[in-house]
A and B are shown apart, each in its own frame.
Chain A
Amino acid sequence: MNQYPKWKYGLVLVAIFIGLIYSIPNFFGESPAVQIMPTKSSDKLDLSILASIEGSLKEANLPFDGIVQEPNGIKIKFANPDNQLKAKDILQNALGANYVIALNLVSKSPSWLSKIGAIPMYLGLDLRGGVHFLLQVDMKAASEQAAESNLNDFRMTLRKERISYIGASRLNEIVKLQFDSQEDLEKAKKLIKVNYPDLMVNESSVGKDKALDISMSEMGKKKIQEFALKQNLQTLHNRINELGVAEPIIQQQGLDRIVVQLPGVQDTAKAKEILGRTATLEIRLVDEDKTDIATLESAQKGNAPFGDDLFKDRDGRPILVKKNVLLTGERITDAGPGVDQQSGRSVVHVTLDGRGSNIFKQVTRENVGKRLAILLVEKGQTEVVTAPVIQQEIGGGRVQISGMNSPQEATDISLLLRAGALAAPMQIIEERTVGPSMGEENIKRGVHSTLWGFAAISIMMIIYYMAFGGVSIFALAVNLLLLVALLSIIQATLTLPGLAAIALALGMAIDANVLINERIREELRNGNTPQASIHAGYDRAFDTILDSNVTTLIAGLALFMFGTGPIKGFAVVHVLGILTSMFSAILVSRALVNIMYGYRRKIDKLSIGQIYRPKED
């Protein structure tokens, strides 16, 4: 009666075997490594650089422990962090701007383990150190920016279609166009309705003038917000890529938030600066009619002519630029540093997308002989980078921006342009930073709690339940093994509360075995035979174990649904711990007991500790 079919023993053995294989990588530790990735995430890594990497490391006399090739880059292992840091600098110089060199850690476990997907648990920021940001995207600003860009589009389209208007302005998200005649208004209305199906057009009046109020539909607003979020995510990806962080996490959370996690990053000030940077490119026309000294002087006193902005160029000379923005950085698909073949000076090559190319072609055709201002807007400061004269119509969307002071500046500006601008400003609404030594300390604390608790429970269980206590502890150890293996396989983020959850899972899982052992004792007390007692003990306890685990599971799931960050980590381990404990406490311990007692003919006594039988009065 206490014998399992062979497949059940097999199942337990296989589970333990798999558990061992997948939890082993956690015990090898990690060695410092340098990770090399292509700067543009779309690019594939060119394996021919391996030779040059090895060459430059050999030249610098830096020994390395091995090279690991992964789909997302090459990792080079080093014996200590000192060599790792040195190698990072050397490789950065050797490989140049096309590769990002980041510090990372690589598991020391043998490579055959990694090949079958056995890798260590994924440690959360509170265990490995790093920064966590929650960013709130300003959706109102996104809508306003979209309205502003619509306003510019309307101006251009109306002019192109020769519809005369007497005013165009924007109040928050609503664009107002004013007209002299009803006829122009009707024409404009029709034009907008055809070209912009997402917009709502209402007629109104300003004094005796007729006007159109153009606002966004809810659908349109939603679309813009979704786009803004996507654009911001992409921009952050690019920027963080440039920063050289190994394994960053950049994720959408909810409708208007972005989570950014940068493991190993300690310089939070730099990280914040890079996340918040809002550099963007604007192309506008220089107001050629107002270049006389008198106008410029009065503009510098704050009286810029209507429709113009006053900026300074790189030499500090004032220049009047039309308010109308022809093109923004959004239309840039690529940018890279280069050298002008004629002058030999540093330039930035910019490639525009289809719509951008069309606009640029039209603008250059209509304004030959005039000057085009290229402005860089960063941190609220606008600077005219260069203002070349348009020589001829430029098609094809390839634009060369001159006026760079040095090759370094050309590189910086092209990085900035390529990484793109944020579609809407963002604000950090949550920040959690953990230093690296703190992370190590936290791991130590969690592991010590678990191990000492486990040891104490083991001693108590074996004293109280003898051999059955030993079986319970074996089951508990299997539980720990399976839990660690499962966490390694699914690569759930392990946090400090998660480590606490492992300890707690063990403390709670022992309940199932106590229940079983107590039941067996009770059956024995009632005078049943040892074999029957074992059978009844496991069978009767099953329902109770199931019921009590389901209630714990409910609590775990609620935590998972409503928890964020470390609490989610707690919930994941809690829930998984319940599942593995069901398996180990019932199946594994039973298998062991069956092997110990199930095949004996006659058993006088079970080694389950002393059983007290009250004397009948």
Chain B
Amino acid sequence: MELFRIKKDIPFMSYGRLTTTISLITFIIAVLFLSIKGLNLGVDFTGGTLMEVSYSHPADIDKIRQVMDKIDLKDTTVQNFGTSKDVLIRLPIRQDLSIAQLSEKVSAALIESDKDTKIQRVESVGSQVGEELYANGALALLLVCFGIIAYLALRFEWRFAVAAIIANMHDVIIILGFFAFFQWEFNLTVLAAILAVLGYSVNESVVVFDRVRENFKKMRKANVVEVIDNAITRTMSRTVITHLMTQTMVCSMLFFGGETLHNFALALTIGILFGIYSSVLVACPVAMWLGVSQRNLVPDQSKEDTSQEINP
């Protein structure tokens, strides 16, 4: 089977303005949602307590709310989680109770009201820890960006590095935009997914850039646009197949991974879908506009012929 039966190179770069404009618009929309709605940060970042409780019968949400009111915890959200028998309770940080006391108080009250209550999971994070996790998350994101820029600049050229990071940061912002729009919970696991996606989509750009570099060496008569068009066309099949495979795995997580992995898989899905688009159709035009040329990548023209065979 061969999915891609392409006769000629597709003139991707002539759509460059269009594809980047589409990207820019999605980017702006994402930023808008982020600034208007904001992220629904999980207890990992805000501090607070999250309790997952299960019953052998369908849970009575109203009754649980009454129990919370009775022990004077007003700002509690109680909702179903996955099935009708599982309930998620969220409690903000309290000044008068330590996090250790808070979870004990709630579980004692719940078990008293219904012997069948099973506390499946408790996550309590103090405000200080939450702030640190938030800061560390931001720091990790920065470090990944700089690490990737440095590596690409070293291995290729700064223009490629900048283009790749612009394309992929735009993916990150779009993932965040989705999380803001749908108010999905943003926790540590989602952050891990985003960083993984960042590394993964840069792959995409790397594969295309690798081909661009190779083409510059081989297609000496072609201009920059032709070189890039050819590189994208030739790698297109690989791009789509690879993403299809990775997405298959992610879908499996989405179906079988349960609630905990749900948002993780969602972030990966959005990241993979936009990653295909941006790492090819945004990174390449940006690299082109930054002025990538044969001279940047193949510095010594005399060595050109011998360098055709790339040996590991």
Contact = CB atoms under 8 A, between A and B. Distances in A.
B122 A507 contact: no
* Most chain B C-beta atoms within 10 Å of own C-beta, residue among A558, A566, A615: A558
A563 interface: yes
A134 B119 contact: no
Contacts of B261: 445-446, 449, 496, 500
Interface in B244-291: 244-253, 255-258, 260-261, 264-265, 268
B257 A504 contact: no
Contacts, number: 252
A522 B238 CA distance: 11
A551 B104 contact: no
Contacts of B136: 562-564
Interface string A449-472: 110111011001101100000000
B24 interface: no
Interface residues of A, number: 84
A548 B100 contact: no
Interface in B178-207: 188-189, 191-192, 195-196, 198-200, 202-203, 206-207
Contacts of B133: 564
Interface string A422-466: 000001111111110110011001101110111011001101100
Nearest to B244: A460
B121 interface: yes
B248 A445 contact: no
B199 A431 contact: no
Contacts of B119: 433, 435
Interface of A: 134, 136, 268-269, 272, 276, 427-435, 437-438, 441-442, 445-446, 448-450, 452-454, 456-457, 460-461, 463-464, 496-497, 500-501, 503-504, 506-508, 510-511, 514-515, 518, 521-522, 539-540, 542-544, 546-559, 561-567, 570-571, 574, 609-612, 614-615
Nearest to B8: A614
A612 B7 CA distance: 9
B139 interface: yes
A562 B139 contact: yes
B246 A511 contact: yes
Contacts of B52: 438
A567 B189 contact: yes
B6 interface: yes
28 contacts: A268-B103, A429-B128, A431-B124, A449-B256, A452-B252, A453-B250, A457-B248, A464-B3, A496-B260, A503-B252, A504-B196, A515-B242, A518-B235, A542-B310, A542-B312, A551-B202, A552-B203, A554-B144, A555-B148, A555-B196, A555-B198, A556-B199, A558-B140, A558-B141, A559-B195, A563-B188, A610-B2, A614-B5
Contacts of A435: 118-121
Given A460-B248, A558-B141, A614-B7, 11 more contacts: A136-B126, A433-B119, A435-B119, A441-B258, A448-B256, A450-B252, A464-B1, A497-B189, A515-B207, A548-B207, A550-B155
B122 A614 contact: no
Nearest to B136: A562
A8 to B, nearest CB: 14
B249 A563 contact: no
The A interface, classified by DSSP as helix, strand, loop or mixed, is helix
Interface of B: 1-8, 52, 98-100, 103-104, 107, 118-126, 128-129, 133, 136-137, 139-141, 143-144, 147-148, 151-152, 155, 188-189, 191-192, 195-196, 198-200, 202-203, 206-207, 210, 214, 234-235, 237-238, 241-242, 244-253, 255-258, 260-261, 264-265, 268, 309-312
A437 B86 CA distance: 13
Given A506-B249, A518-B241, A431 B123 contact: yes
A114 to B, nearest CB: 31
B100 A431 contact: yes
A544 B246 contact: no
Contacts of A548: 202-203, 206-207
A558 B147 contact: yes
A123 to B, nearest CB: 15
Given A431-B99, A544-B206, A609-B2, A442 B126 contact: no
Contacts of A448: 252, 256
A554 B148 contact: yes
Given A449-B253, A453-B248, A552 B144 contact: no
B252 A134 contact: no
